[in-house]
Amino acid sequence: MYIVQIASECAPVIKAGGLGDVVYGLSRELEGRGNTVELVLPMYDCMRYDHIWGLHDAYLNLWVPWYGGAVHCSVYCGWVHGRVCFFIQPHSQDNFFNRGCYYGCDDDNMRFAFFSKAALELLLRSNKKPDIIHCHDWQTGLIPVMLYEIYKYHGMEYQRVCYTIHNFKHQGMGGVETLQATGLNQASYYFQYNKLRDNFNPFALNFMKGGIIYSNAVTTVSPHHAVEAQTSEFGCGLGYTLHLQKDKFMGVLNGIDYDFWNPEIDCYIPHNYHWDDFEQKAYNKKALREKLMLGHGDKPMVAYIGRLDNQKGVHLVHHAMYYALSKGSQFVLLGSATEPAINAHFQHEKQFLNSNPDVHLELGFNEELSHLIYAGADMIVVPSNYEPCGLTQMIGLKYGTVPIVRGVGGLVNTVFDRDYDQNLPPEKRNGYVFYQMDNQALESAMGRAIDLWYQQPEQFQKLATQGMQYDYSWNIPGAQYLEIYDWIRHKW
């Protein structure tokens, strides 16, 4: 099969969070199974060019229709750790992708509407005829809309779209100007509730809703979240739309790329290890302590890695830090906040705790350090408010770092409580789960984990190595996506 993935991220060259990991890992798996996979991405000024090999111009004269005129774009091609990627660089005064950031601009909806249009124009002009176009998140929600309303009539009638939603919170809103810009004429046609009109804001078009309605298959990133999105506030207003489209909507659990996230071969950690030589993990803990200038001693280490925002349960992250210290643990945090108030709060905490040898806060994004923390820490806490899939708990498991998670979304599908899980025998359990959003709930799970570390170290190690033996690779999800692709190719 010939598959083109269109997304706003692809790790490690463009990574703001899990989306980048998924786009890369899934592409690699699909290619490993004998398919041809190409990726189309924006050419951001701030992406990690050091992860692109052989970057060369592919199409220097791509003219993308925009507002009745056309914007000149150059398209570059290069390999990102073996994946063929096309990067679109527009030449216009808008400087859509030269902003020193991936997201967070006032005109994000226009930036990614343009990217979507340009990606389709690239496929059309270069005469690429993929069997499947796989789009991701709101940034590419307009692709299936334009494919079926415009490009189908220009020779792209056989392309089928799989649309994966990684986060319902950000849906992409636009007004009539988005339609004018992209050539989706007849505003009244698109401003209908069975098309793009937002379910709650009658003056807005919702890109993600368009993606859901026009795609041949829609997925989200875990089976549990697929149910939550239809039945609770986690669908962020799209629950009813998903319910109406339920025959083509399903959850496929994300995988992680074990060529990149694997303590046996990880080149960012000083001591590689496997579940049957688990003692080696202790040397990584020592290296991490040295790097972060933490005290040595017989104490467990709890980590948090992730964005610092309300989705991730920041108030519980904050409480986890002080609770870990009160229980004789060390705590390491690696996180970045986009909201100024949250950023200021953690900056303040960092100053306040600066001289404490048992805690380190690293504020910012640091891929290399994240690997050492996964390898060095004993536990990783994921107290999310909601979590469509969550990768940090799965990476933690692979590194023998016991996850302590809140039972929502994909965390329910991947972490099974050592003491209370009713569905699995003890030798299959792999972490700790709590359910409420309050401090006591978090403490009940963290307390059990830290007590086990102190009181029954051999049992703690057993739990950690049980987690390392789970297979959360792309193997199963890769096969599931191929089944979905096959289904939509033959059904439509």
Looking at 62-70, 98-106, 227-235, 330-338, which segment touches ligand ADP (CB under 6 A)? 330-338
DSSP for 317-369, written as a single string = HHHHHHHHHHTT-EEEEEEE-SSHHHHHHHHHHHHHTTT-TTEEEEES--HHH
Give min distance, CB of 129 to ligand ADP, in A: 32
User: In whole angstroms, what is the distance from residue 266 CA to residue 288 CA?
Assistant: 15
**Min CB(150)–ligand ADP separation in Å:** 31
- Total binding residues for ligand ADP by CB under 6 A? 18
- Helix, strand, coil fractions of the chain, as percent rounded to 5: 45, 20, 35
Other Cβ atoms less than 10 A from the Cβ of 364: the count is 9
For residues 480 and 296, give the distance between their C-alpha atoms in angstroms, rounded to a whole number: 45
Binding mask 121-160 for ligand ADP (x = CB under 6 A): ----------------------------------------
Based on the shown chain and the rule CB under 6 A, indicate whether residue 443 belongs to the binding site for ligand ADP: no
- Phi/psi region, residue 254 (left: phi>0; alpha: psi -120 to 50; beta: rest), is beta
The residue type of 423 is: N
Residues between 179 and 218 with contacts to ligand ADP, criterion CB under 6 A: none
Cα 416 vs. chain centroid, distance in angstroms? 21
Is the previous residue joined to 12 through a cis bond, with omega within 30 degrees of 0?
A: yes
Among 305, 342, 446, 464, binds ligand ADP (CB under 6 A): 305
Phi/psi of residue 58, each to 5°? Answer: -110, -50
Task: Work out whether 161 is an interface residue with ligand ADP (CB under 6 A).
Answer: no
> With respect to ligand ADP, which residue has the nearer C-beta, 71 or 334?
334
Q: Does 370 bind ligand ADP (CB under 6 A)?
A: yes
Residue 419 DSSP SS3: coil
Whole-angstrom distance, CA of residue 328 vs CA of residue 451: 10
Least distance from C-beta 360 to ligand ADP, angstroms?
A: 13
The residues pairing with 59 across neighbouring beta strands, listed in sequence order, are: 75
**What's the token pair of residue 167?**
């986060």
Q: In whole angstroms, how close is the CB of 141 to ligand ADP at the nearest point?
A: 18
Q: Which is nearer to ligand ADP, 241 or 336 (CB)?
A: 336
Tell me which residues in 16-45 interact with ligand ADP (CB under 6 A). 17-19, 21
* Contact by Cβ (8 Å): 161, 144: yes
Q: Is 367 in the site for ligand ADP (CB under 6 A)?
A: yes
Closest contact distance (angstroms) between CB of 311 and ligand ADP is: 7
For residue 333, what are the β-bridge partners? 304, 361
Alpha-carbon distance 211 to 214, whole Å? 5
DSSP 108: H
Per CB under 6 A, 335 contacts ligand ADP: yes
Q: Which of 147, 334, 377, 468 binds ligand ADP (CB under 6 A)?
A: 334
Minimum CB distance to ligand ADP, residue 18 (Å): 2
390 binds ligand ADP (CB under 6 A): yes
The residue range among 15-23, 222-230, 323-331, 340-348 that interacts with ligand ADP, by the rule CB under 6 A, is: 15-23
- Please report where in the chains the tokens 């708990």 appear, as a residue: 393
Contact between 365 and ligand ADP (CB under 6 A)? yes
The least distance separating ligand ADP from the CB of residue 428, rounded to whole angstroms, comes to 23
Within positions 230 to 249, which residues make up the interface with ligand ADP, using CB under 6 A?
none
336 interacts with ligand ADP by CB under 6 A: yes
Which chain residues interact with ligand ADP by CB under 6 A? 17-19, 21, 305-307, 334-336, 365-367, 370, 389-392
